[in-house]
Amino acid sequence: MGNVCSISISMDNMISGCWAATGGQATHVCEFEEKFDAVKLALEDLKDFRNDMKRKIDTFEEQRLEQLDQVQRWFSRVEDVETEASQLIKDGTTEIQKLCLGGYCSRNCISSYRLGKKLAKKVEDLNNLRSTRLFDMVADRLPPASVDERPSEPTVGMMSTFNKVWSCLGEEQVGIIGLYGLGGVGKTTLLTQINNEFLKTTHDFDVVIWAVVSRDPDFPKVQDEIGKKVGFCDGIWRNKSRDEKAIDIFRALRKKRFVLLLDDIWEPVNLSVLGVPVPNEENKSKLVFTTRSEDVCRQMEAQKNIKVECLAWQESWDLFQKKVGQDTLDSNAEIPMLAEMVAKECCGLPLALVIIGRAMACKKTTEEWNYAIKVLQGAASIFPGMGDRVFPILKFSFDSLPSDAIKSCFLYCSLFPEDFNILKENLIDYWIGEGFLHEFDDIDEARNQGHNIIGILLNACLLEKSSRDIIRMHDVVRDMALWIACEHGKVKDEFFVRTRVGLIEAPEFTRWVSAKRISLMENRIEKLTRAPPCPNLLTLFLDRNNLRMITNGFFQFMPDLRVLSLSRNRRLTEIPLEICNLVSLQYLDLSHTNIRLLPIELKNLQNLKCLNLNFTQILNVIPRHLISSFSFLRVLRMYSCDFSDELTNCSVLSGGNEDLLEELESLKQLHDLSITLESATALLRICDSKLQSCTRDVYLKILYGETSLNISSLENMKCLEKLCISNCSTLESLVIDYVGEEKNLLASYNLHNSMVRSHKCFNSLKHVRIDYCPILKDLTWLIFAPNLIHLGVVFCPKMEKVLMPLGEGENGSPFAKLELLILIGLPELKSIYWKALRVPHLKEIRVRSCPQLKKLPLNSNSTAGCGTVIYGEKYWANELEWEDEGSRHAFLPCFISW
């Protein structure tokens, strides 16, 4: 049988051991629930503290602060301790359910003892984590992002300009790019697009910096914006001087390839003052800025100046529809048509399109839209958003003009109708008449000042250049100018403008009383029969009406009138005698009227400085000694005056212009003359007199019996800009002298090189028109007009060539500055020039009824992509021959049938 082992344990020893265990650790068991509750409270407290810290860290991250590594480790420890404490709480809950004897005796003393000890330790851990001092600095600043995204709205119609700017950013030789344009045209929007594009594309720049300069620049603030992007952000740095900041910025940026985007510059910014290295090919950095002034672009020495234009019609319409909303446009079948009319009033200016579009978004009746059209066409300032949002933005450009005189010249432009082509020369004449350019006694100096002012207004984008000689005013800018002149001027209602509104009679005279300048241009007024009280009136524009009668008395209460224009009233055949009493008058425009005579009483106008008689086609009487009586006359325009055959001996126009020239020679202050001549003798007389120095335009007509005209004498007219030869039925050739020897260009094919080089050119000549000269065969003399801009040859049936070759001695490039070429009614014309011309400025060619002209002097290198448009009959275009296929492909898309 197996062995039997007997173990004897004393019961007393077992009981005493149990009591020793329960008695020695009684504290842990008895305080178990207290420790359990303490862990729960400490855990909740730590969780709250942890959540507070998370929110704080989130805030820091928004401020571009980075969480410290030790803080990240703390969050990891908190997560571990939370897990452990939660498990202990779960175990403790189970243990409490096992407690007996009122909680003072455990069924499992050892388990309770061990769990209680863990609870005590966990309370300590929780409290230690809660009381950490890491949070004196929980985060450190992150390095600035290379590009900060800027808020923007979807853009319309800017892609081509954006692509142009983005392409320039890739050109190594381009360091500075200027974006200029009218206020509200979208320059800031475009710059924002450029900024955000750097986030979407891979690029080689270290940092892209955005800063706003504004009209009253705060350069320390601009430095702060730059400083943030290169790591300077604390209060100590912000309190540094401007020079100290500039040094810090320079040290930081000279080691980087940066793009600096400066928005809204009004004056040139000295980059060295900011501490910014000048971008160039060496550092490969870029500066892109926006401004309202092209002149600022030049002063900033930008390698690329890009004008931000108003939107084209389709783009304007798309933007306007988006702002109005399809729901409104669909609410009535007539609203889309009316909406187009409203959108057109904005003339492509995005700011106006957006504000007016939003204002019309809730207008769902045709009455509301018709009212909006009427308001915008008549008094745009009262339209919601225009007077308080659009015009003030545009007015910043006006306020920045350098003098009150220039501001007055700008406001004067608002007297013309919308979309009106303003001739620069006429505008300057008005300004001289008004006294804006009074500081110069010399008319040439005053005219130069006038051109300078036009340049300033063009550079400020307050005027637009339509062509070399014509400017325009954007419709919204014009509305702003009238808002200033009529509502915000020093004296309210100084301007009274009712142009192109269909008036058939003069408006009520109550508005005339306080007005200094009144314009009623382009209406249908036929009669002016009453006498308006105008004690302050300085300028009165009555152009382009249907005036046929102005009664005596109309001008009697205009004592200070200085500028009076009656131009383009074709039904007007006589001048009211009361005009002769306007002794303050300095400018009188009677051009394009059918007046038959000038009354001798005009002698009273002793202050007259400018008299415009251009295109007075039936004028036949200018009394003798009338013209010579205008002792202060500085400008006389008599271009294309087709004097009537019914001339009388009492008129200075009789006798082949000789008497007229004699009176003109007596005018000591005459500086600007446009004249019509009917004889070669009269032309020679002008060229041999002092008039040669002031003659700008010459209209040669009829020239009875002349078969050949030597135009070499025109060379003495140093100011000659325009020449027209018309209705010369016997004129067969134009000749020119070469080194003292007269040569007929019709037969001159092989002139010596020395001859060509020694001949002086007609440098000032810009416009030439030849019409109705039936036997004239060529215009080769134009080779010596290097600055010719416009050439028109019309109804010359024997014209064979425009320019004939001068042989090997020919030098230079004819028509190098030509912009417009018109050829009409030339059935024998075979050639313009014998080889392809370099015409980089050519904008337009118009050809009609020239069936033998089979080839244009153009090839793929002629126009340098300047966008030439060619108008011609379809059959003619199809039969044209080209130098090569490249030339054909270059110019066929430019054709427009007419």
Do 167 and 295 sit in the same domain of this protein?
yes
Q: Does residue 1 carry a pLDDT above 60?
A: no
What are 713's two structure tokens? 């004498």
Q: Does residue 724 carry a pLDDT above 60?
A: yes
Q: In CATH, what number is assigned to the domain containing residue 458?
A: 1.10.10.10
What is the rounded distance in angstroms from the CA atom of residue 66 to the CA atom of residue 880? 72
Higher pLDDT, 298 or 235: 298
Q: What is the mean pLDDT of the chain?
A: 84
Determine how β-strand 65-67 pairs with β-strand 139-141: antiparallel
Tell me the three state secondary structure of residue 719.
Answer: coil
Q: DSSP per residue over 327-338, as a string?
A: HHHTSSTTHHHH
Higher pLDDT, 439 or 530: 530
Domain boundary residue, one of 90, 114, 141: 141
Read off the pLDDT of residues 854-874 as tens digits, 9 standing for 90 and up: 999 998 888 866 678 999 998
Do 865 and 783 sit in the same domain of this protein?
yes
Q: Which residues does 27 contact at the CB level (< 8 Å), separation at least 6?
A: none
Specify the pLDDT at position 14. Answer: 44
Specify the pLDDT at position 757. Answer: 39
Work out the pLDDT band at 653, boundaries 50, 70, 90: confident
Specify the pLDDT at position 48. Answer: 78
Q: Does residue 728 carry a pLDDT above 60?
A: yes
Work out the pLDDT band at 516, boundaries 50, 70, 90: very high
Cα dist from 46 to 77, 79, 123, 133, 183, whole Å = 12, 10, 11, 14, 57
Point out the least confidently predicted range of 16-25, 58-67, 657-666.
16-25
Specify the pLDDT at position 704. Answer: 82
| pLDDT winner (highest mean) among 106-115, 500-509, 748-757 | 500-509
Work out the pLDDT band at 752, boundaries 50, 70, 90: very low
Q: Evaluate whether residue 444 is within a structural domain.
A: yes
Do 225 and 131 sit in the same domain of this protein?
no
Higher pLDDT, 349 or 898: 349
Q: Which H or E run includes 818? A: none
Work out the pLDDT band at 81, boundaries 50, 70, 90: confident
Specify the pLDDT at position 489. Answer: 55
Domain of 667, in residue numbers: 596-701
Q: Evaluate whether residue 241 is within a structural domain.
A: yes
Q: Does residue 104 carry a pLDDT above 50?
A: no
Domain boundary residue, one of 307, 340, 368: 307
Do 274 and 370 sit in the same domain of this protein?
no
What is the rounded distance in angstroms from the CA atom of residue 287 to the CA atom of residue 262? 8
Cα dist from 632 to 6, 251, 606, 651, 723, whole Å = 152, 65, 7, 22, 26
What is the rounded distance in angstroms from the CA atom of residue 53 to the CA atom of residue 181? 50
Tell me, letter by letter, the H, E, C secondary structure of 77-137. Answer: HHHHHHHHHHHHHHHHHHHHHHEEHHHCEECCHHHHHHHHHHHHHHHHHHHHHHCCCHHHC
Stretch 117-141: mean pLDDT, rounded? Answer: 66
Read off the pLDDT of residues 153-203 as tens digits, 9 standing for 90 and up: 777 888 889 999 999 999 999 999 999 998 889 999 999 999 999 998 888
**Closest to 293 (Cα-Cα) out of 400, 218, 216, 195:** 400
Stretch 500-516: mean pLDDT, rounded? Answer: 90
Do 276 and 320 sit in the same domain of this protein?
no
Q: Evaluate whether residue 886 is within a structural domain.
A: yes
Stretch 575-583: mean pLDDT, rounded? Answer: 91
Q: Evaluate whether residue 735 is within a structural domain.
A: no
Q: Evaluate whether residue 811 is within a structural domain.
A: yes
Residue with tokens 């958003």: 385
Do 357 and 266 sit in the same domain of this protein?
no
Work out the pLDDT band at 340, boundaries 50, 70, 90: very high
Do 192 and 292 sit in the same domain of this protein?
yes
What are 510's two structure tokens? 């109550």
Do 342 and 461 sit in the same domain of this protein?
no
Stretch 813-824: mean pLDDT, rounded? Answer: 93
100, β-bridge pairs: 105
Q: Does residue 646 carry a pLDDT above 70?
A: no
Determine how β-strand 695-701 pairs with β-strand 722-726: parallel
What's the structural domain count of the chain? Answer: 6
Higher pLDDT, 623 or 890: 623
Buried b or exposed e, range 120-154, using 16+ CB within 10 angstroms: bebbebbeebbeeeeeeebbeeeebebbbeeeeee
At 509, give phi and psi (nearest 5°): -75, -5
Q: Does residue 73 carry a pLDDT above 90?
A: no
Point out the least confidently predicted range of 56-70, 557-571, 632-646, 754-768.
56-70
Specify the pLDDT at position 379. Answer: 79
Specify the pLDDT at position 426. Answer: 93
Cα dist from 251 to 12, 152, 228, 233, 245, whole Å = 89, 32, 14, 16, 10
What are 645's two structure tokens? 């055959």
Q: Evaluate whether residue 191 is within a structural domain.
A: yes
Stretch 45-57: mean pLDDT, rounded? Answer: 76
Do 119 and 45 sit in the same domain of this protein?
yes
What are 258's two structure tokens? 């940066």
At 741, give phi and psi (nearest 5°): -110, 130
| Percentage of the chain exceeding pLDDT 90 | 49
**Closest to 719 (Cα-Cα) out of 699, 692, 685:** 692
Stretch 551-560: mean pLDDT, rounded? Answer: 91
Burial class (CB in 10 A: 0-12, 13-18, 19+), 257: middle
Work out the pLDDT band at 80, boundaries 50, 70, 90: confident
Q: What is the pTM of this model?
A: 0.75
- Whats the size of the chain, residue-wise? 898
Q: Which H or E run includes 273? A: helix 271-274
Burial class (CB in 10 A: 0-12, 13-18, 19+), 885: exposed
Q: Evaluate whether residue 109 is within a structural domain.
A: yes
Q: Does residue 631 carry a pLDDT above 60?
A: yes
Q: Does residue 623 carry a pLDDT above 50?
A: yes
Read off the pLDDT of residues 86-99 as tens digits, 9 standing for 90 and up: 777 777 777 666 65
Specify the pLDDT at position 742. Answer: 40
Other beta carbons less than 10 A from residue 44's beta carbon: 12
Tell me the three state secondary structure of residue 71.
Answer: helix
Specify the pLDDT at position 141. Answer: 54
Q: Which residues does 649 contact at the CB level (< 8 Å), separation at least 6?
A: none
Burial class (CB in 10 A: 0-12, 13-18, 19+), 319: buried
What is the rounded distance in angstroms from the CA atom of residue 163 to the CA atom of residue 161? 5
What are 220's two structure tokens? 């320390």
Point out the least confidently predicted range of 346-350, 421-425, 796-800.
346-350
Domain boundary residue, one of 288, 307, 326: 307
Kindly tell me the sign of the dihedral angle through the C-alpha atoms of 569, 573, 577, 582. positive
Do 330 and 403 sit in the same domain of this protein?
no
Q: Does residue 27 carry a pLDDT above 60?
A: no
Residue with tokens 């207008």: 363
What is the rounded distance in angstroms from the CA atom of residue 275 to the CA atom of residue 240? 13
Q: Does residue 809 carry a pLDDT above 90?
A: no
Q: In CATH, what number is assigned to the domain containing residue 285?
A: 3.40.50.300
What is the rounded distance in angstroms from the CA atom of residue 112 to the CA atom of residue 117? 8
Do 369 and 428 sit in the same domain of this protein?
no
Do 364 and 429 sit in the same domain of this protein?
no
Q: Evaluate whether residue 491 is within a structural domain.
A: no
Determine how β-strand 869-872 pairs with β-strand 895-897: parallel
Q: Does residue 17 carry a pLDDT above 50?
A: no
